[in-house]
Amino acid sequence: MIRAGGNFALALCLLMGLLTGSAQALTAQSIGSFDQPVYVTSAPNNPDRLFVVERGGSIIAVENGTVKPFADIPVSKVGEGGLLSIALSPDFAGSGRLFVYYTGPQDENPDIHVAELVAKGTGAPLSSLRNLLTIEHPNQDNHYGGQLQFGPEGNLFVSTGDGGGGNDQEHNAQNLGSLLGKILRIDPDPGATDPYTVPAGNPFAANPAPFDTIWSYGLRNPFRFSFDQQTGDLWIGDVGQETREEVDFAAAPLLGAGANYGWNCREGKQLGPGTDEGCGTAPPGAFTDPVFDYANPAAGCAVIGGYLARGPGVGDLLGRYVYGDLCASDVRSFSPASPYLTDRYEGVHVESLNSFGEDSCGRLYAVSGEGPVYRLLGSGAAACGGGTTTATLSPSLVRVRAASRKVKRTRRALISAWVSPCNGRRGGQVTLWHGRRNLGTRRLDRVCSARFRPRVKRRSSFRVTVKADQVFAGAISRRLTIRPVRRHRHR
């Protein structure tokens, strides 16, 4: 068993692997350590340029061992739910457009926001957020969904949770007059009256805006979904309540248009709480059953939807659906042809597993909420360019501290950085960043520390990065915010 950080796996997780078999073929290669990472993806035309999403509102770029800040959503805009995912436009190389999914501040209604950012070239700042959708999420502070993905036909798909609480107490999932508990589909280009366009073929296009964006419904908390790179099929991991976790499937080209996945009338393949009108009178075939479900809490607590393995060098994982669970934290897979008979543990345990990701080459990634992000490699896995991958690298960590979080305006702050593990790192270089601006590089001393003295003119956030080497993966520190204080003049 390959362990990607943390303590030994639960006995239950080991038992599940023994009962269903394990390919023992995967290894986990660290690509870096981050601050509460929650998602990873790549540039559409460059699978080696990765983007890691941090819940606090930052997007981090990772390429050729270099880790550096790419974008920050202002902390005034991001609530406790956080920045949950991003989707880069298929024409990102030319347009620089990407789309973000985040929750609003907690002191307001914790609404869901889908917005556009535009990168204006290397090192240049990003444009301000252009809001596409604001989805009201009143009364409860959970079940936000959280995924953005461009579908095979080029439109943007959005997943939302049912509004939170228990038993869908807000009665949203079965309600076509609510955007919660749904998969939505939009064209992110502006329309005549809205900042987006409703694509032709949306199944509820006759509904008043914005409910004409609904693609499918009856979901509880579809935190992660994906499209098969080869077939275009849609796979949805929908988090259950008290009895079942489920994986839903919709074949291309219809992709489940108009499908009702059953919540709260159903939970997995069983009867659900059924508190909505119509649950007891729904005709046969009204609900689309999952292709796979499993018991909770016996086998986990929250399914983490993954991807069909299509990348190079994955061995017998090729063509299998890779998924996990927040509590079990094991990487598992099954064959779409017979999910229940082929479900198995893949020999990799990622502590605090909270997401999977995929690059444009089809290589898969696993995200630990504790910081590390891992590339999943099969035996003898090949790189996208046809060569072999680099050796598995050990995680590294960068910590930062300011002598004071407040300094007089225009004065210099003192920021100290430490890199660990230290052995073999002395003399290595670390870089200080203010947003996307490189403020300079220092060498690590005998205790693997370095100091910076940036000038602070206004409230500013800083990070420190270290590049990968032959032993350790690159890493980035947490965001450090320093505030200027005005000088007091005595009369």
What is the DSSP code string of 96-130?
-EEEEEEE--TTS---EEEEEEEB-STTPPBPPPE
More confident residue, 7 or 328: 328
Three-state SS for 12? Answer: helix
Residue 75's contacts (CB-CB under 8 Å, 6 or more residues apart) are: 56, 57
**% of the chain with per-residue pLDDT over 90:** 67
**Quick one: average pLDDT of 254-265?**
97
**Quick one: average pLDDT of 101-110?**
78
Pick the CATH number of 2-377 from 3.40.50.970, 2.120.10.30, 3.90.550.10, 3.20.20.150: 2.120.10.30
Residues 8-54 pLDDT 10s: 333 334 344 434 444 556 888 889 889 999 999 999 999 999 999 99
User: Do 241 and 301 touch, CB atoms closer than 8 A?
Assistant: no
Residues 360-416 pLDDT 10s: 999 999 999 999 999 998 876 567 764 444 567 788 899 999 988 887 766 889 999
**% of the chain with per-residue pLDDT over 70:** 89
Q: Tell me: pLDDT of 124 over 70.
A: no
Taking the CB of residue 443, how many other CB atoms lie within 10 A of it? 10
Q: Is the pTM of this model over 0.95?
A: no
pLDDT at 473: 86
Cis amide linkage into residue 222, ω under 30° from 0 = no
Return the DSSP state at 155.
P
CA torsion angle for 368, 374, 376, 382 (degrees, to 10)?
170
Look at domain 397-485 and name its CATH class: mainly beta
Q: Tell me: pLDDT of 475 over 60.
A: yes
**Quick one: average pLDDT of 227-253?**
96
Residues 79-95 pLDDT 10s: 778 999 999 999 999 99
Q: Tell me: pLDDT of 237 over 90.
A: yes
pLDDT at 487: 60
Residues 292-301 pLDDT 10s: 999 998 788 9
Q: Rg (Cα) of the chain, in Å, rounded?
A: 23
pLDDT at 335: 98
pLDDT at 387: 46
CA distance 402 to 132: 38
More confident residue, 4 or 196: 196
What is the DSSP code string of 395-415?
P-EEEEEES-SEEETTPBP-E
More confident residue, 409 or 468: 468
CA distance 345 to 363: 19
Judged on CB neighbours under 10 Å (0-12, 13-18, 19+), 241 is: buried
Residues 414-445 pLDDT 10s: 999 999 999 989 999 999 999 889 999 999 99
- Going by pLDDT thresholds of 50, 70 and 90, the confidence category of residue 65 is confident
Residues 146-192 pLDDT 10s: 999 999 999 999 999 999 989 999 999 999 999 999 999 999 999 88
CA distance 439 to 462: 9
Give the domain ranges of the chain.
2-377, 397-485
- Going by pLDDT thresholds of 50, 70 and 90, the confidence category of residue 4 is low
pLDDT at 125: 61
Q: Tell me: pLDDT of 477 over 80.
A: yes
Maximum mean pLDDT: which of 108-122, 382-396, 425-439, 473-487? 425-439
CA distance 58 to 81: 13
